[in-house]
Amino acid sequence: MTSYHGMFSALLILVPVLTFILLWIALQGPVVDRITMAGLPEGVLDGLDSGGVQLVLAEIKSVSRGQIFGTPEDWKIAAAGRYVILHDRADWWLFAAVTILSLALLAFARSRVAADFRARQGVEGIVSGLMIFCSTVAIFTTIGIIASLSYETWRFFERVPVAEFLFGLNWEPQIPLREDQIAAKGAFGWLPVILGTIVITVVALVVAVPVGLFSAIYLNEFAPKRLRSIVKPVLEILAGVPTVVYGFFAILVVAPAIRSFGQSIGLDVAPNTALAAGGVMGIMLIPFISSFADDALSAVPQAMRDGALGLGSTRGEMMTTVLFPAALPGIVGGVLLAVSRAIGETMIVVMAAGLIAKMTINPLDSVTTVTVQIVTLLIGDTSFDNPKTLAAFALGMMLFLVTLMINILALRIVRKYREAYD
Amino acid sequence: MTDITNAPAVPRKATSTELVAASLKRRRRKQIRLQWIGLGAISIAFLMLFILVASLVSTGWQAFTQTHVTLEVYVDPEEVPEDRLPRGGFRDVLGASMGQMLPDVDMSARETARAVEGILSNGAQFELRDRVVADPSLIGQTFTMTVPVSDPYDQLNKGLIERETEEVNRRVKDNEIAWFDTLADSGAISKPFNWGLFTNADSRFPELAGLKGALVGSFWALLTCFLISFPLAIGAAIYLEEFAPKNKLSDFIEVNINNLAAVPSVVFGLLALAVFIGWFGMPRSAPFVGGLTLALMTMPTIIIATRAALKAVPPSIREAALGLGASKQQVVFQHVLPLAMPGILTGTIIGLAQALGETAPLLLIGMNAFITSAASSPFDSSTALPTQIFIWADSPERGFVSRTSAAILVLLGFLVTMNAIAIYFRQKFERKW
């Protein structure tokens, strides 16, 4: 197989060179920025926080693109000139480095390739290296999530004490925290936020669990084959609808309907009541729960069904007294996964739930959730050094940990029970 | 049977057959009740889906047409002198031609003139300007032009603003309705298909707002997502399924992939914000960064689908190839992978469809900015289809309600198409071994 020799050379050259180019492109921007900022005259950046510094950098960049608003100071124009030169020079350096690297690798490859060289083994070695790299991307992603969340959370706890965050009963992140102001006490207590999350999750489960469960029971045991083949895909459609669509549905239809119904029976319902967000989230979770319950019921061995029927129970009794209890662990696992989905669900609550954190468990009232707070704190201006933005990362950390624990628990329950019957 | 052996002493009590027969009716009823509850639950799910689709269609279909007015425009050289282009009194030019179409209206009163000009969309003057700049010979000439009307009149024409409403509660006043009716009677009003919905970018004015920016942004994001996640996921899946030794590292990778599939999407947004934008200094609101984030989220889906597809290829294929002297990699890349491709593509398309509807991570990296032009590269600021829906749903103007529903219908249309392609692939190429 002669083609392996060429393949070997190509891979030997392309893999390092492409990696090098990608790394260079990723690092060029930040490095040039840093050199530009370091070259500014002394004193011009005094008294600016990191947001102000970012602003100066952005202005220099826009000047370098020729977009000039007003009259920038001379040092900014000079810096813009340096910025352009640095980028040009960087491009040249990249070109030169890539050429040298390619030639060196080509020479190396040429020296290796000979009639008796085992090229296939060489190629396969490189390919397996690439595949191992691909599979470690998942690990790197996890590391990235944990590292970024912990780093920003740690910076948050430098500014706000851990105890305040974990046990505080007030969540008012909109209070501006100035240098001379001691962080408004208790403004970053996450308890009302998590309470709101729980309220909405409970409402969602109250809708989703009965509907999903009874659908699964019917589909699994009683439905004619034709009906089953129609219902299952339709439920899958419900699962495939993007959550932003559910969010719009909640504000367009569900919330006004609940509100006017509440008013007609004399109840005071908030316009963004937890019932609307939770109820719509429940609709979203119906297919999730029903498919998990269906799988769990199907996994119960046929012998148990036959046994129950043979002893004279009706199919209904077989379902309630034999199949359902036997499938219960799997169903519980599915419900737990649904809980973790509900806690982490973002768009429905961002659009349909409230923004203000209250210590209330009244589902007619408006409550807020962890994900709503993360999104509202980070939309718009984000400089990474005020507690307001960092608080979002602390909430994200808690969200990640809570959902991770629930997922691990749920998967363990599901797996354990599956093994019992296999 | 126990009944019979234990209770022979009691004379002539009901036999178990009789007992069962007596209870059977009640027990059957119980079963039927269970069936009805199940059917009820399914109907609730169906009803909800129906209400969801019906409400979107009933509010959204109106946005697929747009009320236009056809004008005779005389480009007055005094208002638009050629040497001052692209500046000029285009608004006044349009106002004058509106005045001609409404002869009964006294255009000398400033307020009235303003109100009459307000029938036209704010974009009309820019459309006129662009036409005149492109062809300055139009100055001093009269030509016909069809432009969108502003949102209140569009809603009036579509019946969304009801004439029976009391005048104080109506956005269009009585005299304005009279003007509009005059225009309609003269045949100047038309309601063609709203191409602007697909060819315009976002705008503050509902009648001008379109999805082009969002569609382009979503395209770039999905392309990035595909180019990154597809090779990485296939590489990872092949390694884990075919080559990985059973050791701690492989187990750890597997646990990681399963957990990543269940991490809330907003956490990926936080990752992207902190790492891609915060540490690597990538641009905000760029579809490239969005695609990168979506790739990380889509990868577990594609990996799981690919592994299932690889598993479905029977061992006989592998053994035959190995027996003929192929190396393990030759077996996988030349025999197993091509046979598994349809399954892999199906999984990939489904994963991309999920990515297309994903919103939360894109919000966190700033793809909800107000941007009035379509991105020309994946590094320009842009919105995406779902974030555009979010922006419009948040807009207070009434006209955006039906635009939002229309945008959702477009998004759902794409999702249905992608899933249909996936199903087609599965049915066409699926092989039973």
**For residue A380, is pLDDT > 70?**
no
Model confidence at A176, in pLDDT bands (50, 70, 90)?
Answer: low
- Amino acid A365: pLDDT: 87
- Amino acid B333: pLDDT: 92
**For residue B249, is pLDDT > 80?**
yes
Chain A CB contacts of B62 under 8 Å are none
pLDDT, one tens digit per residue, over B12-27 is 777 888 888 888 889 9
Chain B CB contacts of A320 under 8 Å are 34
- Amino acid A420: pLDDT: 67
Chain A CB contacts of B258 under 8 Å are 411
Model confidence at B10, in pLDDT bands (50, 70, 90)?
Answer: low
Measured in angstroms, the CA of A358 and the nearest CA of chain B are apart by 23
What average pLDDT score do residues B93-119 get? 83
Handedness of CA A365, A370, A373, A375 (dihedral sign): negative
Measured in angstroms, the CA of B413 and the nearest CA of chain A are apart by 11
**For residue B166, is pLDDT > 90?**
no
pLDDT, one tens digit per residue, over A272-320 is 889 999 999 999 999 999 999 999 999 889 999 999 999 989 999 999 9
Q: Flag the least confident range among B215-219, B231-235, B379-383.
A: B379-383
What average pLDDT score do residues A361-378 get? 89
**For residue B305, is pLDDT > 70?**
yes
Give bridge partners of residue B68 from the DSSP assignment. B148, B190
Chain A CB contacts of B327 under 8 Å are 120, 124
- Amino acid B11: pLDDT: 64
Q: Is residue B189 within a helix (H) or strand (E), and if so which, with residue range?
A: strand B189-190
Contact state of B271 with A210 under an 8 Å Cβ cutoff = no
Q: From CA A84, how far away is CA A80, in angstroms rounded?
A: 6
CATH topology of domain A191-421: MetI-like fold (1.10.3720)
3-state secondary structure at position A73? coil
* Encoded tokens for A295: 């799988």
Give bridge partners of residue B144 from the DSSP assignment. B72
pLDDT, one tens digit per residue, over A81-100 is 888 888 888 889 999 999 99
**For residue A416, is pLDDT > 70?**
yes
For residue B71, give the nearest of B225, B151, B172, B183 by alpha carbon.
B183
% of chain A beyond a pLDDT of 70? 92
Helix axes of A274-298 and A255-264: crossing angle, nearest 10 degrees: 110
Confirm if B262 and A403 have CB atoms less than 8 A apart: yes
What average pLDDT score do residues A321-342 get? 92
Count Cβ atoms below 10 Å from residue A254 Cβ, excluding itself. Answer: 24
* Encoded tokens for A3: 């083609």
- Amino acid B284: pLDDT: 84
pLDDT, one tens digit per residue, over A195-227 is 999 999 999 999 999 999 999 999 999 999 999
| Higher pLDDT, residue B124 or A399 | A399
- Amino acid B7: pLDDT: 52
Option in A240, A283, A343 nearest B415 (CB): A240
Contact state of A240 with B353 under an 8 Å Cβ cutoff = yes
Confirm if B241 and B308 have CB atoms less than 8 A apart: no
Concatenate the DSSP letters of all residues of B233-259 into one string. HHHHHHIIIII--SSHHHHHHHHHHHH
**For residue A396, is pLDDT > 90?**
yes
What lies within 8 Å, CB to CB, of B101 at 6+ separation is B71, B72, B182, B183, B186, B188
What lies within 8 Å, CB to CB, of A419 at 6+ separation is none
* Encoded tokens for B134: 């492109």
Q: From CA A39, how far away is CA A414, in angstroms rounded?
A: 60
- Amino acid B8: pLDDT: 54
* Encoded tokens for B280: 């690597």
pLDDT, one tens digit per residue, over B321-334 is 999 999 999 999 99
The half-sphere exposure of A76 on its side-chain side, counting CA atoms within 13 A, is: 22
The half-sphere exposure of A254 on its side-chain side, counting CA atoms within 13 A, is: 28
Question: By CA distance, what is A234's nearest residue in B?
Answer: B46
- CB crowding A397-417: b at 16 or more within 10 Å, else e: bbbbebbbebbbebbebbeeb
Contact of A38 with chain B, judged by CB distance below 8 Å, is answered with no
Model confidence at B316, in pLDDT bands (50, 70, 90)?
Answer: very high
Contact state of B253 with A135 under an 8 Å Cβ cutoff = yes
- Cβ burial, residue A95 (10 Å; 0-12/13-18/19+): exposed
Residue position matching structure tokens 């040298």: A100
Measured in angstroms, the CA of B235 and the nearest CA of chain A are apart by 5
Contact of A340 with chain B, judged by CB distance below 8 Å, is answered with yes
* CATH match for B212-429 among 1.10.600.10, 2.30.30.40, 3.40.50.720, 1.10.3720.10: 1.10.3720.10
Chain B CB contacts of A145 under 8 Å are 263, 267-268, 270-271
DSSP B74: E
pLDDT, one tens digit per residue, over B173-203 is 888 888 888 888 888 888 889 888 898 888 8
Handedness of CA B165, B166, B168, B174 (dihedral sign): positive
Helix ranges (H only) for B263-398 are 265-271, 287-312, 315-323, 328-331, 337-357, 360-364, 385-394
Model confidence at A374, in pLDDT bands (50, 70, 90)?
Answer: very high
pLDDT, one tens digit per residue, over A107-128 is 988 888 887 788 888 888 999 9
**For residue A252, is pLDDT > 80?**
yes
Q: Flag the least confident range among A49-63, A367-381, B366-380.
A: A49-63
Interface test with A, best of B26, B29, B52, B253 (most A CBs within 10 A): B52
- Amino acid B407: pLDDT: 94
| Higher pLDDT, residue B296 or A388 | B296
Mean pLDDT for all residues in chain A: 86
Chain A CB contacts of B271 under 8 Å are 141, 144-145, 148-149
Helix ranges (H only) for B239-312 are 248-262, 265-271, 287-312
% of chain A beyond a pLDDT of 90? 43
Q: What is the pTM of this model?
A: 0.87
Q: For A55, left (φ over 0), alpha (ψ -120 to 50), or beta?
A: alpha
Count Cβ atoms below 10 Å from residue B281 Cβ, excluding itself. Answer: 17
Chain A CB contacts of B280 under 8 Å are 26, 29-30
- Amino acid A216: pLDDT: 94
End-to-end CA distance of chain B: 49
Residues 316-335 of A with CB under 8 A from B: 316-317, 319-320
- Amino acid A204: pLDDT: 96
What average pLDDT score do residues A16-22 get? 90
3-state secondary structure at position B147? strand
A24-28, A261-265, B394-398, B427-431 — which one is most confidently predicted on average?
A261-265
Domain ranges of chain B: 1-34, 63-194, 212-429
**For residue B302, is pLDDT > 80?**
yes
Contact state of B41 with A124 under an 8 Å Cβ cutoff = no
Model confidence at B93, in pLDDT bands (50, 70, 90)?
Answer: confident
Contact state of A245 with B244 under an 8 Å Cβ cutoff = no
pLDDT, one tens digit per residue, over B42-53 is 999 999 999 999
What lies within 8 Å, CB to CB, of B319 at 6+ separation is none
Cα–Cα distances in angstroms (integers) from residue A120 to residues A2, A39, A235, A301, A421, in the given order: 9, 52, 49, 49, 46
Torsion of CA B17, B21, B23, B25, to 10 degrees: 160
Q: Is residue A377 within a helix (H) or strand (E), and if so which, with residue range?
A: helix A370-378
What lies within 8 Å, CB to CB, of A409 at 6+ separation is A336
What lies within 8 Å, CB to CB, of B97 at 6+ separation is B71, B72, B73, B74
Q: From CA B114, how far away is CA A167, in angstroms rounded?
A: 58
What lies within 8 Å, CB to CB, of A93 at 6+ separation is none
pLDDT, one tens digit per residue, over B395-421 is 888 889 999 999 999 999 999 999 999
Question: By CA distance, what is B412's nearest residue in A?
Answer: A241
Contact state of B411 with A241 under an 8 Å Cβ cutoff = no
Contact state of B41 with A211 under an 8 Å Cβ cutoff = yes
Confirm if A273 and A259 have CB atoms less than 8 A apart: yes
Q: From CA A271, how far away is CA A357, in angstroms rounded?
A: 15
Contact state of A346 with B256 under an 8 Å Cβ cutoff = no
Option in B236, B264, B411 nearest A135 (CB): B236
- Amino acid A181: pLDDT: 54
What average pLDDT score do residues A54-79 get? 76
Chain A CB contacts of B299 under 8 Å are 137-138, 141
What average pLDDT score do residues B282-293 get? 90
Contact state of A344 with B263 under an 8 Å Cβ cutoff = yes
Q: Supply the ipTM of this predicted assembly.
A: 0.88
Q: From CA B411, how far away is CA B359, in angstroms rounded?
A: 12
Mean pLDDT for all residues in chain B: 88
Give bridge partners of residue B147 from the DSSP assignment. B69
% of chain B beyond a pLDDT of 70? 97
Measured in angstroms, the CA of B14 and the nearest CA of chain A are apart by 18
* Encoded tokens for B404: 């939002």
Q: From CA A256, how far away is CA B51, in angstroms rounded?
A: 14
Domain ranges of chain A: 3-117, 191-421
B149 φ, ψ (degrees, to nearest 5): -90, 165
Q: Is residue B71 within a helix (H) or strand (E), and if so which, with residue range?
A: strand B68-74
Helix ranges (H only) for B61-169 are 90-101, 110-117, 124-134, 151-157
Model confidence at B32, in pLDDT bands (50, 70, 90)?
Answer: very high
% of chain B beyond a pLDDT of 90? 41
Chain B CB contacts of A137 under 8 Å are 232, 236, 299
Contact of A297 with chain B, judged by CB distance below 8 Å, is answered with no
Residue position matching structure tokens 């219960």: A328
Measured in angstroms, the CA of A360 and the nearest CA of chain B are apart by 25
Contact of A337 with chain B, judged by CB distance below 8 Å, is answered with yes
Chains A and B form CB pairs within 8 A to the count of 256
Question: By CA distance, what is A251's nearest residue in B?
Answer: B393
Contact state of B30 with A343 under an 8 Å Cβ cutoff = no
Contact of A140 with chain B, judged by CB distance below 8 Å, is answered with no
Q: From CA A215, how far away is CA B40, in angstroms rounded?
A: 8
What average pLDDT score do residues B268-282 get? 87
Model confidence at A150, in pLDDT bands (50, 70, 90)?
Answer: very high
**For residue B1, is pLDDT > 60?**
no
